[in-house]
């Protein structure tokens, strides 16, 4: 049975690899500052738009400069600021209603992955009013062009500013819907490191480790390209060298800028080469318990990398060299061990735990089933794991003390 499933998964992935050159991948136009968006308002004759964010972003004063730019350019705007971390279907529908009432022509998101994902999903619903969020889950189900989408990340983590994905929580079913479709790639992205200065150390750490997970999972998977391998290695180098500095010294401009660049490159890498079991397990936990995405990834990553075993040692050595934690002279096994140890050290040194509270024993079979369904057949994981192997991770990461 497992053998047949493996053949099925690998066949789906091979077909997607063959089709990849024909897919409409594109990159957003990247600006260094919100002020550059004036050019977009003029070019696209945008007079009114919906601004999607959350309370934390407003309270930190991050929206004010954008509001000034909008006003200066004669653009009226309606703010939706109720986005929750792990945005929900309710968030998306409320914001969509505001978009409709205000006759908006475009959408701007400012915030972390949650605000950006909420805005993407609003755009998808505007383009497909007949299709509820759950019907968009999966690949290529959003087929129409979205209203112009401009995004301004304030965390260096999710890569949502460049990816064709959005993740929306279904509070009733306690699952996350993952929607992957090319129209979701934002048209414009502002990468301004000063907007991330106020990100508290704990969130700097967990969102930074999310970005690292994107680079690592994209690199060790079986659907890499020369370009995505290069991007993943560059992202790993940038994140390893800067995340701890950004954690300690929030307004260190160079470290913040390198983190934003690293997260963006990691986002580009996983957009073409996907993620893997680390993300699938993280999504199962966030859906069920609302565990923050980056935190879940940071805890799970070392356990899953260890469990893959020798099959990924060579790739982990290459990542370890990029990270600067091993040498050419190290054997592949030793280098892999050093990288995993360095990831654990990064977590500990930034106050991230190595286990998660709140996992219920009786939920584990369901969580493992969901992780399996999330990963297979889409994610080109280095090695297919059985349901039992997936279950074992929840026992290992659960903090029942």
Ligand X SMILES: NC(=O)c1ccc[n+]([C@@H]2O[C@H](COP(=O)([O-])OP(=O)(O)OC[C@H]3O[C@@H](n4cnc5c(N)ncnc54)[C@H](O)[C@@H]3O)[C@@H](O)[C@H]2O)c1
Residues that bind ligand X (CB under 6 A): 54, 56-57, 60, 62, 85-87, 111-115, 117, 154-155, 157-160, 163, 165-167, 195-196, 198-199, 203, 207, 210, 293-294
State the nearest-atom distance from the C-beta of 131 to ligand X, in Å: 18
Residue nearest to Fe ion (CB): 210
d(CA 330, CA 321): 10
State the nearest-atom distance from the C-beta of 79 to ligand X, in Å: 14
53 contacts which partner out of Fe ion, ligand X, none, CB within 5 to 8 A by kind? none
With contacts defined by CB under 5 A, name the span among 6-14, 38-46, 206-214, 386-394 that binds Fe ion. 206-214
Q: Considering the rule CB under 5 A, would residue 210 count as an interface residue with Fe ion?
A: yes
Phi first, then psi: what are they for 190, rounded to 5°?
Answer: -105, 120
Residues in region 56-75 near Fe ion by CB under 5 A: none
Q: Output the CA–CA distances (angstroms, integers) from residue 300 to 162, 223, 285, 297, 352, in the order listed.
A: 24, 22, 11, 5, 11
d(CA 222, CA 312): 11
- The region that residue 108 occupies, defined by phi over 0 for left and psi between -120 and 50 for alpha, beta otherwise, is beta
- Residue placing its CB nearer to Fe ion in the complex, 192 or 210: 210
State the nearest-atom distance from the C-beta of 234 to Fe ion, in Å: 18
56 contacts which partner out of ligand X, Fe ion, none, CB within 5 to 8 A by kind? ligand X
- Residue placing its CB nearer to ligand X in the complex, 115 or 376: 115
- Residue placing its CB nearer to Fe ion in the complex, 161 or 210: 210
3-state secondary structure of 187: coil
- Residue placing its CB nearer to ligand X in the complex, 168 or 326: 168
State the nearest-atom distance from the C-beta of 3 to ligand X, in Å: 32
Residues in region 84-113 near Fe ion by CB under 5 A: none
236 contacts which partner out of ligand X, Fe ion, none, CB within 5 to 8 A by kind? none
State the nearest-atom distance from the C-beta of 390 to Fe ion, in Å: 18
Helical packing angle, 293-308 and 201-220, nearest 10°:
40
d(CA 352, CA 35): 36
d(CA 121, CA 212): 25
With contacts defined by CB under 5 A, name the span among 138-146, 161-169, 204-212, 343-351 that binds Fe ion. 204-212
- Residue placing its CB nearer to Fe ion in the complex, 167 or 325: 167
d(CA 166, CA 184): 7
With contacts defined by CB under 5 A, name the span among 4-12, 135-143, 209-217, 221-229 that binds Fe ion. 209-217
86 contacts which partner out of Fe ion, ligand X, none, CB within 5 to 8 A by kind? ligand X
- Residue placing its CB nearer to Fe ion in the complex, 108 or 212: 212
Closest CA to 352 of 291, 299, 396: 299
In the block, which residue shows the tokens 């936990």? 285
User: Nearest 10 degrees: CA dihedral of 292, 294, 300, 301?
Assistant: 170
In 20-63, which residue ranges form alpha helices assigned H by DSSP? 37-43, 55-59
d(CA 376, CA 8): 9
- Residue placing its CB nearer to Fe ion in the complex, 51 or 167: 167
- Residue placing its CB nearer to ligand X in the complex, 246 or 397: 246
State the nearest-atom distance from the C-beta of 57 to ligand X, in Å: 5
* Angle value at C-alpha 258, between 164 and 192, nearest 5 degrees: 70
State the nearest-atom distance from the C-beta of 77 to ligand X, in Å: 19
d(CA 43, CA 31): 15
239 contacts which partner out of Fe ion, ligand X, none, CB within 5 to 8 A by kind? none
In 249-354, which residue ranges form alpha helices assigned H by DSSP? 253-273, 277-289, 293-308, 313-323, 332-349
How many residues bind Fe ion (CB under 5 A)? The answer is 1
Closest CA to 244 of 352, 354, 350: 350
State the nearest-atom distance from the C-beta of 386 to Fe ion, in Å: 24
- Residue placing its CB nearer to ligand X in the complex, 87 or 380: 87
Residues of the shown chain interacting with Fe ion in the complex, contacts defined by CB under 5 A: 210
């Amino acid at each position: 049975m497992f053998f047949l499933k493996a053949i099925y998964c690998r066949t789906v992935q091979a077909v997607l690899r063959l089709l990849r050159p024909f897919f409409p991948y594109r990159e957003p136009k990247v600006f260094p500052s919100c002020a550059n968006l004036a050019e977009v308002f003029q070019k696209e004759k945008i007079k009114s738009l919906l601004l999607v964010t959350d309370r934390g972003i407003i309270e930190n004063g991050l929206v004010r400069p954008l509001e000034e730019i909008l006003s200066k350019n004669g653009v009226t705007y309606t703010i939706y600021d109720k986005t929750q971390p792990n945005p929900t279907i309710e968030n998306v529908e409320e914001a969509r209603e505001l978009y409709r009432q205000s006759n908006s022509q475009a959408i701007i998101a400012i915030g972390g992955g949650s605000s950006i994902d909420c805005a993407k999903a609003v755009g998808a619903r505007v383009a497909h009013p007949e299709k509820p969020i759950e019907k968009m889950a999966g690949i290529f189900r959003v087929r129409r062009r979205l209203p112009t989408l401009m995004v301004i990340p304030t965390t260096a983590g999710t890569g949502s500013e460049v990816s064709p994905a959005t993740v929306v929580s279904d509070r009733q079913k306690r699952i996350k819907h993952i929607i992957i479709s090319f129209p979701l790639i934002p048209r414009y992205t502002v990468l301004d490191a000063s907007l991330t200065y106020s990100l508290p150390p704990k969130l700097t750490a967990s969102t930074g480790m999310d970005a690292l997970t994107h680079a690592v999972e994209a690199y060790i998977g079986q659907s890499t390209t020369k370009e995505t391998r290069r991007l993943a290695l560059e992202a790993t180098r940038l994140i390893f060298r800067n995340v701890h500095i950004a954690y300690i010294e929030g307004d260190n401009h160079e470290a913040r800028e390198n983190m934003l660049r690293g997260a963006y490159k990691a986002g580009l890498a996983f957009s073409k080469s996907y993620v893997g079991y680390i993300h699938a397990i993280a999504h199962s936990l966030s859906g069920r318990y609302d565990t923050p995405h980056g935190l879940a990834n940071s805890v799970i990553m070392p356990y899953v990398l260890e469990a893959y075993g020798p099959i990924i040692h060579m790739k982990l050595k290459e990542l370890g060299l990029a990270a600067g934690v091993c040498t050419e002279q190290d054997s592949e096994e030793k280098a892999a061990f050093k990288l995993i140890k360095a990831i654990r050290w990064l977590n500990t040194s930034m106050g991230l735990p190595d286990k998660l509270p709140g996992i219920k024993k009786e939920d584990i079979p369901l969580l493992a089933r969901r992780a399996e369904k999330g990963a297979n057949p889409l994610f080109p994981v280095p090695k297919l794991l059985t349901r039992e192997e997936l279950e074992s991770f929840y026992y290992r990461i659960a903090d029942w003390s």
